[in-house]
Amino acid sequence: MKNLLVSVFLLTTVSDTALQEKASITKDNHNRIQPAGNVFIITTDGFRWQEIFKGADSALINNEIYTPDTATLKMLYWENSAEERRKKLMPFFWNVLSKRGQLFGNRVYDNKVNVSNVWSISYPGYNEIFTGNEDRSVSSNEKISNKNINVLEYLNGTETYKGKVAVFTSWDVFPYILGEERNALPVNAGYENIESGSLSNSEQLINKIQNETIDRKEGYRHDALTFEMAKEYLKKNRPKILYLGLGETDEFAHRERYDLYLQQANNFDKILSELWHWVQTTPGYKDNTTFIITTDHGRGKKTEKWGRHGYFTSGSSQTWLAVIGPGIQALGEIKEDQQIFQKQLAQTIAALLGEKFEANHRIASPLALR
């Protein structure tokens, strides 16, 4: 069995290398990106590309094992065509983002986005996104401080962006993923209260609601609370770089509740819509902020494995990406044969701010955004 696992690992390594040689990475990508004044990175954990581009899955929404109230969910999210289904599920994506930004990862057109790490679970996925490297020693979701330098701490260490970076996440492992203990990066994660400075009435109320929540989930804060905290921080502190990490799509998928997974995907779309509206109506952010929206890993392709992900679950490495902001051409859904990787995002984040991310490990070149 051990020899079999080693062989599978080596085969995967060779396959990854071959794919990466085809990736859309060029030496001059950094110079092709037009910088913006602010960058917001928003993720929703473990959300499949299938729902982004095809909407609700007929095999899952019609299955009472995964969708107990199929009639109601179909009224909410079902249409005969994939184009209409995806618009019902994620109206901001398909009414705004697709018309003003760029969407990558629809494998129907061989437009592929993948994680490079072989594990296809959360900690390795976020490590890859923020460090630009698929460090194979990062192989679990354990609360172990990440030794790898990430782009957020790098930017927070520059004169331009020092004190202008903020992180709000639902999952309480992010202080370890982003090395908060080492770099003092401001990370509010899990059921951590807002504690900085004199608290506004809204911040005090959010803390109170959070502390008195009856159905507190181990390891995960409700995404709605995470977003409310981030909004209050934005209004009060005006950071230039925000990371908002949401997680309930993954949580409901692990429970194999497709109905709740779809509802949370719709809630995620509403959060994006509200955040974009705030940005576009706020001086300093309006027409000066780029959103990078993505996920940390995919999920199983087969109906009976849709809720799972990981090394042995086919489809787990398949992700997606959306970008919108000034300097990003309104190309919409990208339908050309292409391969990009999540590890390209770290340097892309820096390039969007006119910076170059440097660390003591190899960093993938940025995306050739246009």
Q: Where are the domains of the chain?
A: 2-351
- Specify the CATH number for 2-351; select among 3.40.720.10, 3.40.50.620, 1.10.3720.10, 3.90.950.10: 3.40.720.10
Per-residue model confidence (pLDDT) at position 251:
97
Q: What is the pLDDT of residue 23?
A: 39
Kindly report the CA angle at 57 between 51 and 62, in degrees rounded to 5? 145
**Token pair of 239 as six digits:** 């950071």
Please state, for a pLDDT cut of 90, what percent of the chain lies above it. Answer: 86
pLDDT score for 354: 96
Structure tokens given for 234 = 């934005």
Per-residue confidence (pLDDT) for residue 91, from 0 to 100: 98
Q: What is the pLDDT of residues 219-251, one digit of tens each?
A: 999 999 999 999 999 999 999 999 999 999 999
Residue 5 has pLDDT above 60, yes or no: no
**Planar angle of CA 283, 285, 291, nearest 5 degrees:** 160
- pLDDT tens digits, residue range 9-51? 444 444 444 444 333 333 445 556 888 999 999 999 999 999 9
Q: Can you give the pLDDT at residue 214?
A: 72
Q: Please say if the pLDDT value at position 206 is more than 50.
A: yes
Q: Do 148 and 161 touch, CB atoms closer than 8 A?
A: no
- Cα-based distances in Å from 5 to 14, 121, 142, 283, 312: 14, 18, 22, 55, 11
Residue 166: phi and psi, rounded to 5, are: -140, 145
CA 129 to chain CA mean position, Å: 9
Lowest pLDDT segment from 25-29, 112-116, 166-170, 187-191: 25-29
Under 8 Å between Cβ of 86 and 288? no
Residues 155/145, Cβ–Cβ less than 8 Å? no
Calculate mean pLDDT across residues 100-113. 98
**What average pLDDT score do residues 114-139 get?**
98
Beta strands 289-294 and 321-324, pairing class: antiparallel
Cα 296-183-154 angle, rounded to 5 deg: 65
Task: Give the CA distances from residue 344 to residues 65, 81, 132, in Å, rounded to whole numbers and listed in that order.
Answer: 38, 33, 6
Query: What is the average pLDDT across 157-182?
Result: 97
Strands of the sheet with 38-44, listed across from one edge:
187-189, 165-169, 241-246, 38-44, 289-294, 321-324, 101-104, 332-333
Residue range 299-341, pLDDT digits in tens: 999 999 999 999 999 999 999 999 999 999 999 999 999 999 9
Distance CA 176, CA 32 (A): 33
Rounded mean pLDDT, 193-206: 88
Give the model's pLDDT for residue 217.
80
Rounded percentage of the chain residues whose pLDDT exceeds 70: 91
Q: What is the pLDDT at residue 22?
A: 38
What SS3 string covers the chain?
CHHHHHHHHHHHHHHHHHHHHCCCCCCCHHHHCCCCCEEEEEEECCCCHHHHHHCCCHHHHCCCCCCCCHHHHHHHHCCCCHHHHHHHHCHHHHHHHHHHEEEECCHHHCEEEECCCCCCCHHHHHHHHHHCCCCCCCCCCCCCCCCCCCHHHHHHCCCCCCCCEEEEECECCHHHHCCHHHHCCCEEECCCCCCCCCCCHHHHHHHHHHHHCCCCECCECCHHHHHHHHHHHHHHHCCCEEEEEECHHHHHHHCCCHHHHHHHHHHHHHHHHHHHHHHHCCCCCCCCEEEEEECCCCCCCCHHHCCCCCCCCCCCCECCEEEECCCCCCCEECCCCEEEEHHHHHHHHHHCCCCCCCCCCCCCCCCCCC
Task: Name which of 319, 344, 194, 186 is nearest 249 in CA terms.
Answer: 319
CA 230 to chain centre: 16
At 216, the pLDDT band (50, 70, 90 cuts) reads confident
